Structure 1
Amino acid sequence: MKAYLLYEAGGTDKLTLGEVPVPALKNGEVLVKVKAIGINPADTIYRNSDAFITHIFGEKRPVIMGWDISGEIVEKAENTDGFEIGDAVFALLQNAGGYAEFVAVNVELLAHKPENIKFEEAAAVPMAGLTAWQPLIHGMNIKKGDRILIHGASGGVGHYAVQIAKYLGAEVIATSSGKNRDFVKSLGADQHIDYQTENFWEAIEEVDFVFDTIGGETLERSIDITKPGGTIISILALTKEEMMARAEEKNVNLRLWGLQFNGKDLRAFADVLVRGIIKPHIATIYPFTSIAEAHQQVETRRTAGKIVITV
């Protein structure tokens, strides 16, 4: 099968299209013929860092990257009840391997693709969708009428966070660039703040929750506008002890949230997709041969929604 092989970290030229054997199935796995692949900022970060590659794959080289896939089951091993050959599925792959024509997936990570969305839309969900879903659903006790500030609301993670927060009944205040205002409002945001022309900490009163995808000064300023007893969850590493101390002093719960590879959460997300409550937004679809261009687009950090590859 064809797959993109990474022999060493570096630029997009390091992604080499080659031939490798189709994966052999282990107990509990199905073989998925890949139809579409989601590209995330994490993909570009890992591609650029030998330390990250080694952390994930060990010393093995070459490696096959790719965490978000959708496709069709073409083979199954033992203990794969609930999934059959021919089923349309999508997954967040714990051990990567998605930049390929076929991938072996443990059914614990798998969800059926809703019939009302395309393979490309399904591939746009797993990493970004769960990065928003898990902290908002499991990390925040959001009640109807609570006010939440979502930073980076037009991005892959942010555009899901806005929709999830509205689904939970929150009043959503969202930050993005002015050019994405209409897009963010179309997701359900009640108020939009252009971070390029406005200071959010001056534009709004205290909120109950903050979902942070930016970090740095944005995260620090968010402490100032969070109510005592409120919660801030950041998906970026918190490195400043004084930031945590400031939050504690104000009685604000400041937490770092790491993505969990969890098929149960993906299946719960699939349920809201089936009901049309949340809709993936795809900015651009690239062919399999243009994966380098897809990475380059993601690296601009200016994409509204998601970038997807068709196979």
Structure 2
Amino acid sequence: MENTSDNATAASMRHVVYEQFGEPDVLQVVSSPVPEPGDGQVLIRVHGAGLNPIDWKTRKGLGFAARQIEGSLPWTPGYDVAGEVVEVGSGVTTFVPGDRVMGMVGFPVDGGGYSEFALASADELAIVPEELDLVQAGGVPLAALTAWQGLFEMGNLESGQKILIHAGAGGVGHFAVQFALERGAHVIATASARNRDFLAELGVHEVIDYHETDFVDECYGLDMVLDLMGGEIGKRSLHTLGEQGVLVTIPTVTADDIISEAERMGLRAHGMTVRPDVFHLEEIAELIEDGDVRVHVDQQFALDDVRSAHETLEGGHVRGKLVLDCR
């Protein structure tokens, strides 16, 4: 085992835990010994930990991840990390101490991202481009992989197709619009008026202000809808599809209802749950490195401000990503 850093042998690290499900006030910052990497694992000095909607839903005891962790509280949330490798376990040949890495880690049972140090499997990690700040890089993996898998694996989006992306300025949305544009699709996005210019700068062809305009009146014959809202918006989106079109809905709570409605209408709809995929994460890193995709971080929060971060996260209407600065 290699260890070239005093950090890795530090007596303790600070990290976030909750002992029960509930409101943001269940989140607390505690100290624990820095863990040792096991076989195939890497110890990361975390710079940035991404905040994702699944984090607040799980904290409240909602959704599939909560069901899997309820017997193992207290628990440290966070599935997105970026930082520097400080130590590698036996069998790891792909990384050395000092490497700048990011990954979707510990999904869905282990978590562990909201911390000064985190363990990850080496096969979950990709190298962070030099152009990307490590705190900001923490906002990439889960949201970008959700967008990628939704568009290209579930939706089979191709060049020249017409797609509607709901909540285009959000964490997943701002990656999705850029990936779809890079693939050569005609991109329509819903957003609030304040995000119109932001999406126009990213290259979106049409922005629909959902406060002013009903997207169903504006869109028809679409090849694909990426539904990041779920519920009634997802159901109504089915009316915008062409006969061969497909809707991919991300919120798991309403996916079954939307899929049933699609079947009733003779249309195709799929739900999905994101999964770690280092091959595509490396592809995404390359797009960022080449300047084809940019990462927008709306706010950074210190570890001690994790409750405020969750309140903001749960409130929605975030442009791009929220990230914890764990340095």
Q: Is the 8 A contact 1:211 1:233 kept in 2?
A: yes
**C-alpha RMSD of the superposition:** 1.8
The answer to whether structure 1 residue 122 and structure 2 residue 137 are counterparts is yes
How big is the shift at 1:50? Answer: 7.2
Query: Which of the residues 186, 193, 205 maps onto 1:178?
Result: 193
Superposed counterparts of 1:205-284, under 5 Å: 205-237=220-252, 239=254, 243-248=258-263, 250-284=265-299
Summarize the Cα distance change of 1:231–1:34 in structure 2 as closer, same or farther, 3 Å threshold.
same
Within 2, Cα distance between the matches of 1:17 and 1:245? 43
Change (3 A) 1:243 1:283: closer
* Alpha-carbon distance, 1:239 to partner: 4.6
User: Is the counterpart of residue 164 in structure 1 residue 157 in structure 2?
Assistant: no
Give me the whole-angstrom Cα distance separating, in 2, the residues matched to 1:291 and 1:53.
Answer: 20
Alignment of 1:17-28 (within 5 A): 17-28=29-40
Answer whether contact 1:109 1:264 (CA < 8 A) is retained. Answer: no
Give the secondary structure class of the aligned counterpart of 2:306.
helix
* Residue of 53, 77, 80 corresponding to 1:41: 53
Which residue in 2 is equivalent to 1:9?
Answer: 21
- Please state whether the residue corresponding to 1:255 is helix, strand or coil: strand
Deviation digits for residues 230-266 of structure 1 (CA, Å, limit 9, x no counterpart): 1110112365867435423554221001111222222
Partner residue, 2:207 = 192
Give, in whole Å, the separation in 2 of the partners of 1:143 and 1:137. 8
TM-score normalized by the length of structure 2: 0.90
8 A Cα contact 1:8 1:50, kept in partner: no
SS of residue matched to 1:223? helix
The equivalent residue for 1:97 is 112
Letter aligned with residue 47 of structure 1 = R
- What do residues 90-139 of structure 1 show as CA deviations (whole Å, max 9, x unaligned)? 11112210111111110111111111110122111011111101121212
CA gap 1:168/1:75 in 2 versus in 1, 3 angstroms = same
- Do the aligned partners of residues 117 and 205 (structure 1) sit closer, same or farther apart at CA in structure 2, a change above 3 Å counting? same
Asked if structure 1 preserves the Cα contact closer than 8 Å seen for 2:15 and 2:115, the reply is yes
Displacement of 1:154 in angstroms is 1.0
- Determine if contact 1:39/1:309 at 8 Å carries over to the other structure: yes
How many Å separate the matches in 1 of 2:15 and 2:185? 43
1:29 aligns with 2:41: yes
% identical equivalent positions:
33
Pick the aligned partner of 2:84 from 72, 91, 115. 72
Question: Which of 84, 93, 96 is the aligned partner of 1:84?
Answer: 96
Structure 1, residues 57-83: CA drift from partner, whole Å, max 9, x if none?
A: 252221111111111001011121111
Tell me which residue corresponds to 2:6.
Answer: none
Show CA shifts across 1:199-248 (max 9, x none): 11102232111000111221111111100011110112365867435423
**Given residue 27 of structure 1, which amino acid in structure 2 is its aligned partner?**
D
Q: In structure 1, what residue type is equivalent to 2:224?
A: F
Give the C-alpha shift of residue 287 in structure 1.
1.6
Q: Determine if contact 1:238/1:256 at 8 Å carries over to the other structure.
A: no
Unpaired stretches in structure 2, ≥5 consecutive residues: 1-12
**Structure 1 residues 18 and 241, CA, compared in 2 at 3 Å: closer, same or farther?**
closer
- Partner of 2:4 in structure 1? none
Looking at structure 2, the residues matched to 214 and 54 of structure 1 have their Cα atoms a distance apart, in angstroms, of 20
- Tell me how far 1:19 sits from its aligned partner: 0.9
Secondary structure (helix, strand or coil) at the match of 1:285 reads strand
Corresponding residue of 1:310: 325
Misfit runs of 4+, over 3 Å: 50-54, 238-246, 248-251
**SS of residue paired to 1:131:** helix
Cα distance change, pair 50–198 in 1 and its aligned pair in 2 (3 A): closer
Q: CA deviation at 1:2?
A: 0.9
Is contact 2:230-2:254 (8 Å) kept? no
Contact 1:209 1:230 in 2 (8 A): yes
> Which position in structure 2 is the counterpart of 1:56?
68
* Structure 1: runs of 5+ lacking an equivalent: none
CA distance in 1, matches of 2:23, 2:254: 27
1:155 aligns with 2:167: no
Are 2:29 and 2:303, in contact at CA under 8 Å, matched by a contact in 1? no
